[in-house]
Amino acid sequence: MPADCRGLAVTASSADEAELLDATVHAYLSNDPGTGELLGKLMLRAPEMPMAHCLRGFLLNLAGRASDLGRARESLAAADRLIARANERERRHIEALRAWCDGELTRATALFEEILIDHPRDVLAFRLAHYLHFFVGAIVEMRDSAARVLSSWEESVPDYGYVLGCRAFGLEETGDYAAAEAFGRRAVELNADDVWAGHAVCHVLEMQGRHREGIDWVNHHENAWAERNAFANHVWWHRSLYYLELEEHDAVLDQYDRYVWRGPSDDNLDITNAAALLLRLDMLGVDVGDRWHQIAGVVAETRLDERTRPFNDAHFIMPLAMTGRRTESDALLASMRGHAEAHLNEAMTIVPTLRDIGVPLAEAVRAYADGDYARAVDTIMPIRYRLLPLGGSWAQRDVFARLLIESARRSGRTRLARALLAERAALKPTSGPTWKMYASVLDQLGDAAGATAARERAGQLLAA
């Protein structure tokens, strides 16, 4: 039986077919924009290969559009027809695809992890488990998954560096920044195109408030990562966040126009990047012109009835609410509530998160846009420590922490704003804008000495 380049048996008619599977998996790992084309070739060349259909189904599920999910089910049906030919590892992939198509992300992830116990070099199972852990905020699982498999890898095994990149991101999200940075930098040394590993380093620099270094890091790798797929746009988004913390708002807007949202995009990550950046700017009082309208148009046209990730939904509401599209905002909220209710008794992983976190966050965004800041505060406060299952990163979910603080300020709950800003300044001691905001709130509360100290701290940080 043919084997893949890491020695795992593959049901295929020839070694050439297994090689093409390797090339397609490698393209996926490296965020190669040619992945779809390679997959097309694989499907033509190896229509009887169970893993070809599984891979297609997985990639469609990852894209996460409702139309993609229907096509993923076609891949599942095709893989099912070949199940008698599949080996034991491949059958577990088919079961994972089935669980994923049914919305049972937890079960799909468990199946990938089971595969990895027996086949720690199944890099596809590993990367998919990594992403699914990330999608549901299972950050400890994400960290440990990489640690488990790495003991069975060595540098000579093809695609080793991409596993290091995932290890880096798991360590970063669980707060081990030094180790994360070391793994991430090593992965990028091994593969300059490893934008996922480079992105893990971006997160370290964001969380440690090393904003100038962050800009340099992205600039240095821009040429290599610009050749990657749309995920690179998310790295440009990170660069915008560094500028935001340096209060270089013109640079943020320039980044937005040239990198983050270059025109209407149907990609979930593009939409969430753009919406979250504009909301951050709005909360800081920066005029973003008519930029909301273009995203709002895409969301209104394509996302009102599409519920795949509560994280995305809590962002889709932003452009609708901020452009005053009340009918569409209402429709989105109704769709979110309806989806949660309709599937409550099923094993769909996202449903409790949608109901308990996604809907309240979307309501809070709507309240903020309507100027009902007190309601935004009241909606976020009870859930603020329970946002992890929403998925995404700490840096991404930070938009909701900012929303709470700004809503507290604008609703006149100044003591609450002070408390939240004290907390934030402790968490992000190198954030100039945080200290500045803290100073202004302390002023309002009559703490002139505290305000002066906070303002001095902000001044030093922003001048550095």
By CB under 5 A, name the binding residues for Fe ion. Answer: 393
Choice between 240 and 379, CB closer to Fe ion: 240
Choice between 393 and 431, CB closer to Fe ion: 393
CB of 392 to Fe ion, least distance (A): 8
* DSSP codes of every residue in 293-336: HHHHHHHHHHTTT--S-HHHHHHHHHHHHHTT-HHHHHHHHHHH
Distance, CA of 272 to CA of 312 (rounded, Å)? 6
As a residue count, the chain comes to 464
Choice between 268 and 393, CB closer to Fe ion: 393
Distance, CA of 262 to CA of 420 (rounded, Å)? 35
Distance, CA of 451 to CA of 315 (rounded, Å)? 34
Using Cβ positions, the residue closest to Fe ion within the complex turns out to be 393
SS3 content of the chain, % helix, strand, coil (to 5): 75, 0, 25
CB of 207 to Fe ion, least distance (A): 11
Distance of alpha carbon 263 from the chain centroid: 21
Choice between 225 and 435, CB closer to Fe ion: 225
Choice between 43 and 232, CB closer to Fe ion: 232
Distance of alpha carbon 41 from the chain centroid: 29
CB of 205 to Fe ion, least distance (A): 11
CB of 229 to Fe ion, least distance (A): 15
Distance, CA of 99 to CA of 186 (rounded, Å)? 34
377 touches 413 (CB < 8 A): yes
CB of 241 to Fe ion, least distance (A): 9
CB of 195 to Fe ion, least distance (A): 11
**φ, ψ (nearest 5 deg) of residue 9:** -65, 135
CB of 206 to Fe ion, least distance (A): 8
CB of 211 to Fe ion, least distance (A): 15
Choice between 24 and 393, CB closer to Fe ion: 393
**φ, ψ (nearest 5 deg) of residue 206:** -70, -50
* DSSP codes of every residue in 126-163: HHHHHHHHHHTT-HHHHHHHHHHHHTT--TTSTTHHHH
311 touches 269 (CB < 8 A): no
Distance of alpha carbon 84 from the chain centroid: 36
CB of 393 to Fe ion, least distance (A): 5
CB of 22 to Fe ion, least distance (A): 28
CB of 32 to Fe ion, least distance (A): 19
Choice between 239 and 303, CB closer to Fe ion: 239
Distance, CA of 462 to CA of 245 (rounded, Å)? 8
Choice between 174 and 414, CB closer to Fe ion: 174
Choice between 90 and 206, CB closer to Fe ion: 206
Residue with tokens 């569409």: 328
Choice between 22 and 173, CB closer to Fe ion: 173
> Which residues are bridge partners to 9 per DSSP?
3
Tokens encoding 12: 């295929």
Choice between 214 and 360, CB closer to Fe ion: 214
188 touches 197 (CB < 8 A): yes
Distance, CA of 263 to CA of 271 (rounded, Å)? 11
